[in-house]
Structure 1
Amino acid sequence: MFAMFAMFAMFAMDFELSGGTYRPQLRDVLANDDHTVALLHATAERAGKRLDMDCVIDFRIRNDRIVEGSEFWAEPSEYDEFWS
């Protein structure tokens, strides 16, 4: 359960840091008993920069609870530059 709260806290921080412009759009979900994978597209503006990028979030599931979440951005260096 902690991983799920951490992921939502991260979304809240992204929203705050982008002045309310962060917009993750869910494109698809793939799931089985061990993993749920969300395919997203996110946009945001911050300090004259624009984010417009695909992302995959992989949630690992154990005993019907999210125990870990990992993000994979299409262009990690561009994503890091946006938030720097």
Structure 2
Amino acid sequence: MPHRNETMLRDLYAAAAEGDVERLRQLVHPDNVWHVPGRNALTGEYKGIDEVLGLFGRLASLTDGTFRSELHDVVAGEDHVVGLHVEHGERAGRSLNARLALIGHVREGRLVEVWEGHTDAEAYDAFWSA
């Protein structure tokens, strides 16, 4: 039986892939802070559910709808959850094939803070830079 936080994160990935905004609102805490590292068009802190949903929208719009995350595995405990995934997309003649770890703090069964970790930060920055 998977840990409830593993189920929550798998559900979040599925909701994001389906564009299910209402389900995302249930899974991401209203006070969430989402940290995107690097030096690119997405870098920054996204505070609150509306900014996080805006980030997800930018992923789609900057890639003309080609962006997708392929979930590899989830590790979960009482207060934290880690999703290992590969991001794919096309942008300005470039292809994205980036491995990431999504590290989340969980409160009340929802993601309340998230940090992204990229295995190749330079390639990630190059893809998302103008």
Residue of structure 2 in register with 1:36 after alignment:
81
Residue of structure 1 in register with 2:64 after alignment:
19
1:1-20 aligned within 5 A: 1-2=29-30, 3=32, 5=49, 6-20=51-65
Distance in 1 separating the partners of 2:84 and 2:127: 20
For residue 8 of structure 1, report the CA deviation from its aligned partner: 4.3
For residue 68 of structure 1, report the CA deviation from its aligned partner: 0.6
Distance in 2 separating the partners of 1:66 and 1:45: 28
Distance in 1 separating the partners of 2:53 and 2:81: 15
| Higher share of residues assigned strand | 1
Q: Which consecutive aligned stretches of 4+ in structure 1 deviate over 6 angstroms post-superposition?
A: none
Residue of structure 1 in register with 2:124 after alignment:
79
Percent identity reads 33
For residue 77 of structure 1, report the CA deviation from its aligned partner: 1.2
Rate the CA distance shift 1:8–1:25 in 2: closer, same or farther, 3 A: farther
Report the TM-score when normalising by structure 2.
0.58
Report the TM-score when normalising by structure 1.
0.87
RMSD: 1.7
> Unaligned regions of 5+ residues in structure 2, if any?
1-28, 35-48
Number of positions where the alignment pairs a residue of Structure 1 with one of Structure 2: 84
Rate the CA distance shift 1:61–1:72 in 2: closer, same or farther, 3 A: same
| Higher share of residues assigned helix | 2
> Unaligned regions of 5+ residues in structure 1, if any?
none
